[in-house]
Structure 1
Amino acid sequence: MTNPKNLNDLQWQCTSFAELSNLQLHAIYQARSAVFVIEQNCVYQDVDGKDPLSHHLTAWTPEGEVAAYLRIVPAGISFDEASLGRVISTQEWRGTGVGKQLIANGIKALHALYPGAPVRIGAQAYLEKFYGSFGFETVSDIYLEDDIPHIEMLLVAKARLNRL
């Protein structure tokens, strides 16, 4: 019998590209390739030049493996708005709730870096309801990216009410 995955065992790290160790960067690229290139059968250039400009949110297992990951891209790089991209949960951790934690922590980290900034994502269309549960709203028609249906979604920071 395998040990159940425990979300409390994960260590969350949000760091700039320069602060990642060589081993951490290798593990991130390995996890991204496993999901995007192997599982989704997409031949594309994953290392696209945006990583050095981005922050990287990673959920690390006690063994130093990636359980979940996303990158936080500043405004003007992928979209006019700041964005979350390269969102993955590794195969071993799917179904544990780590994806929900990843998006919640990603939004929180992005807003810590860019307070009040709207967040745009290019999401796989089948995840529209998932991202919608975090307040993202669909703002585009479906388009194909690497032969996978995608949509753009936007999360706008809610105006704070001033108390008198």
Structure 2
Amino acid sequence: MEWHVKKFNELLPQDMYALLKARVDVFVVEQNCPYHELDDLDQASIHYYLTINDEIAANVRLLPEGLKYEKAASIGRVLVVKDFRGNGYARTIMLKAIDYIWKNWHVNQIKIQAQTYLNEFYSSLGFCQQSEPYLEDGIPHIDMLLERK
């Protein structure tokens, strides 16, 4: 088990390919949701991921303040690959991502777009719902916010 924190230009081509494959497998194939995976945000983001036996197990993408939201950092592309679910990796990687943002970026807020069925999970991490449900790529989402304490 190995945790990785890399800028885009630090990723080897095979690393980026593995991350994109995991994201497409989960968000496009599993959720049957065609959407623009390549959104031009990866290049300015931090890629935080877990590998187990050289396979991607979990991933998040950290977006600095001003990239997606003017006054908040963001965490997106949160996933745990199917074969690795049920081990607490989603909670662990989110806690690590939040800790990374608080320690490394001078921001006071983290904003996410969460699938509505994950409201309870993100609430347990301190995020508060900020919007009514809306459709994003045909899937119900809500905006959620975490403020620095």
Query: Which TM class, normalised by the smaller chain length?
Result: over 0.9
Q: What is the aligned partner in structure 1 of residue 79 from structure 2?
A: 88
Do the aligned residues in 2 keep the contact of 1:69 with 1:87 (CA within 8 Å)?
A: yes
Q: Secondary structure at the match of 2:142?
A: strand
The total of aligned residue pairs comes to: 148
The two structures, once aligned, show a CA RMSD in angstroms of 0.9
Q: Deviations over 1:58-91 (max 9, x none)?
A: 00112x1110001000112222210000110000
Ranges in structure 1 where 5+ consecutive residues have no aligned partner: 1-9, 159-164
1:47 pairs with 2:38 = yes
Q: Which residue of 1 aligns with 2:101?
A: 110
Percent identity, aligned pairs only, is 39
Give the corresponding residue for 1:130: 121
Measure, in 2, the Cα distance between the counterparts of 1:53 and 1:117: 19
Q: SS at 2:111's partner residue?
A: strand
Which ranges of 4 or more aligned residues in structure 1 deviate by more than 2 Å?
A: none
Q: Give secondary structure in 1 for the equivalent of 2:74.
A: strand
Give the alignment partner of residue 50 of structure 2, picking from 48, 56, 59. 59
Following TM superposition, by how much is the alpha carbon of 1:109 offset from its aligned partner in structure 2, in angstroms?
Answer: 1.3
Matched, 1:97 2:88: yes
Q: TM (normalized to structure 1)?
A: 0.87
**Structure 1 counterpart of 2:26, from 32, 35, 44:** 35
Alignment partners' CA distance in 2, 1:118 and 1:45: 26
Structure 2 residue runs of 5 or longer lacking an equivalent are: none
2:67 to 59, 72, 77: 77
Query: What is the identity, as a one-letter code, of the residue corresponding to 2:17?
Result: H
1 or 2, which has the higher strand percentage?
2
Q: Which residue of 117, 130, 145 maps to 1:154?
A: 145
Q: Name the CA distance, whole Å, in 1 between partners of 2:96 and 2:22.
A: 19
Tell me the secondary structure at the aligned position of residue 123 of structure 1. Answer: strand
